[in-house]
């Protein structure tokens, strides 16, 4: 026995609503298989649902673009900070700077290794520490590290902080859109279930196969179980699992 299956993707939900509206334009209200009250609800809900879906998709696109930009500026900042520390270490090795120079950046005077800048949090923390330390060291009258100078490093670092902040904002907005659309999906599912219940109830006096055929015209979806054979003359459409992304 085929069973009814409610939409499980946004595209399928939209089709269900649009099919109901389409039928309401083709059939007089007194012959329509669902109530005018339900139609009014669908007409009010559909534009808001479409807008929410569109907004979510655009927000996710923006999020992806911001992620790429953030990765690029983080990579640049990482390179400049790493090069700054390497140049500083080479200057110490040549005797041009004293080993105590490292202490201005929060590094042990005997430690010539480059601190980990792998994560963004490490990049933020070490970037500030190195920039503040070098600026303080210069104010104390010490010879600045060059090629790159700390001013150039700071430009790259601040650009990274800017894009990181934009990326975090886009993440927050995307999460808000996802949650809002998720809530609307629940409302959409309830409305479609109510709509289809009314449609099926309108044809309840018909034989089972005729009832399904009539309901299908209103967009009601039925599927057969694997071990069931559909009759060719009055068989409902066999739908495969919808793989569209929500």
224: its two tokens: 């057969």
pLDDT at 228: 63
Can you give the pLDDT of all 246 residues of the chain as single tens digits? 788 999 999 999 999 999 999 999 999 999 999 999 999 999 999 999 999 999 999 999 999 999 999 999 999 999 999 999 999 999 999 999 999 999 999 999 999 999 999 999 999 999 999 999 999 999 999 999 999 999 999 999 999 999 999 999 999 999 999 999 999 999 999 999 999 999 999 999 999 999 999 999 999 999 987 766 444 444 444 433 343 444
How far apart CA 39 and CA 42 sit, in angstroms, is 5
Provide the β-strand partners of residue 201.
none
* Helix (H) or strand (E) segment spanning residue 3: strand 3-4
Residue 52 is predicted with a pLDDT of: 96
Q: Give the global pTM.
A: 0.74
> Which of 10, 4, 16 has the alpha carbon at shortest distance from 218?
16
Q: Give the separation between CA 215 and CA 218, rounded to whole angstroms.
A: 5
Is residue 131 within 8 Å of 154, Cβ to Cβ?
Answer: yes
Cα 39 versus chain centre, distance:
32
Under DSSP, the state recorded for 148 is T
Tell me the domain boundaries of the chain: 3-223
CA distance 35 to 12: 21
| Closest by CA position to 31, among listed 208, 242, 202 | 202
State how far the Cα of 202 lies from the Cα of 35, in Å rounded to an integer.
10
Q: On the CB side of 221, how many CA atoms lie within 13 Å of its CA?
A: 18
Strand runs labelled E in 49-123: none
């Amino acid at each position: 026995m085929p069973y009814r299956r409610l939409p499980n993707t946004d595209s399928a939900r939209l089709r269900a609503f649009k099919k109901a509206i389409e039928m309401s334009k083709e059939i007089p209200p007194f012959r329509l298989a669902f109530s005018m009250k339900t139609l009014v609800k669908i007409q009010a809900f559909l534009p808001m649902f479409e807008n929410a879906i569109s907004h979510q998709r655009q927000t996710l696109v923006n999020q992806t673009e911001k992620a790429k930009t953030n990765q690029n500026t983080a990579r640049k900042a990482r390179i400049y900070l790493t090069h700054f520390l390497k140049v500083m270490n080479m200057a110490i090795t040549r005797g041009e700077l004293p080993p105590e120079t490292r202490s201005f950046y929060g590094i042990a005077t005997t430690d010539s290794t480059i601190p980990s800048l792998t994560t963004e949090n490490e990049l933020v923390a070490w970037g500030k520490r190195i920039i503040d330390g070098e600026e303080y060291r210069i104010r104390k009258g010490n010879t600045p590290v060059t090629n790159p100078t700390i001013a150039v490093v700071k430009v790259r670092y601040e650009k990274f902080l800017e894009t990181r902040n934009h990326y975090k904002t886009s993440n927050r907005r995307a999460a808000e859109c996802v949650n809002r659309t998720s809530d609307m999906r629940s409302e959409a599912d309830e409305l479609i279930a109510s709509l289809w219940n009314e449609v099926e109830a309108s044809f309840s006096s018909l034989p089972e196969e005729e009832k399904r055929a009539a309901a299908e015209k209103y967009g009601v979806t039925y599927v057969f179980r694997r071990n069931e054979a559909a009759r060719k003359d009055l068989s409902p459409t066999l739908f495969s699992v919808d793989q569209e992304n929500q």
